[in-house]
Structure 1
Amino acid sequence: MPRDDTNADGAPDDSTLALRALVWTLAEPQRAMRLLDTTGLAPADLRSSASAPATLVALLTFLEAHEPDLIACAEGIGTTPAALVATRERLEAA
């Protein structure tokens, strides 16, 4: 039986994948500050809205805007850049 945070094929669901990308992004202080500066989120806002689709879309859009981060994040969390982009697209459409 698949876990609640995975799709039928065993891959992480969109929110789980985006949250993993968020954790990766916040692990490096300069990148975390760049995320906050770019999105306009305050640390308290990010904490309270971390799992909100709009916040996850903003995060993934931030990663897409700087391809080296997108690629490094994908490698760091064991996925592909295309999967992160597709996740953003699905979250945005929901």
Structure 2
Amino acid sequence: MTQLPRGEGYSVLQEGDEALALQALGWILSDEPRAERLLGMTGLDPDGLRASLGERATLAAILTFLAAHEADLVACADALDLPPAQLAAAAHRLEGHERIDP
């Protein structure tokens, strides 16, 4: 588990959240209309997306994009062979919503 400082507490990531977001991105990019929707909703262009893949906010945006559209969330989860709730929980953690106080 990785802890990143955020304000008064810590945002707790589970190991693999970032990798899960990248796997989900691969699934998103396998369909051009869906990929274009992601770019439109994030405001990124392909170069910007590529350049920001190491940033937590971008990884969170990828999973949040899926969580906002249940059909895509379920289809991606099926393709990655995991429960949709696992993708949604990783999005939540990457967004910094799961916190513990020091």
TM-score, normalising length: structure 1: 0.82
Which one has a bigger Cα radius of gyration?
2
Structure number with greater CO (CA < 8 Å, separation at least 6) is: 2
- Number of corresponding residues: 84
Residue 61 of structure 2 corresponds to which residue in structure 1?
Answer: 58
RMSD of aligned residue pairs (Cα, Å): 1.7
Which of structure 1's runs of 4+ aligned residues deviate more than 3 A?
none
CA distance in 2, matches of 1:18, 1:61: 10
CA shift digits 1:30-70 (9 cap, x unpaired): 10001001111111000111232100111111111110000
Q: Please, which of 24, 29, 32 is the counterpart of residue 26 of structure 1?
A: 29
Instruction: Write the mapping of 1:7-26 to structure 2, written as runs, cut at 5 A.
Output: 13-26=16-29
- Report percent identity of matched pairs: 52
TM-score, normalising length: structure 2: 0.76
Unaligned runs of 5+ in 2: 1-14, 98-102
Unaligned runs of 5+ in 1: 1-11
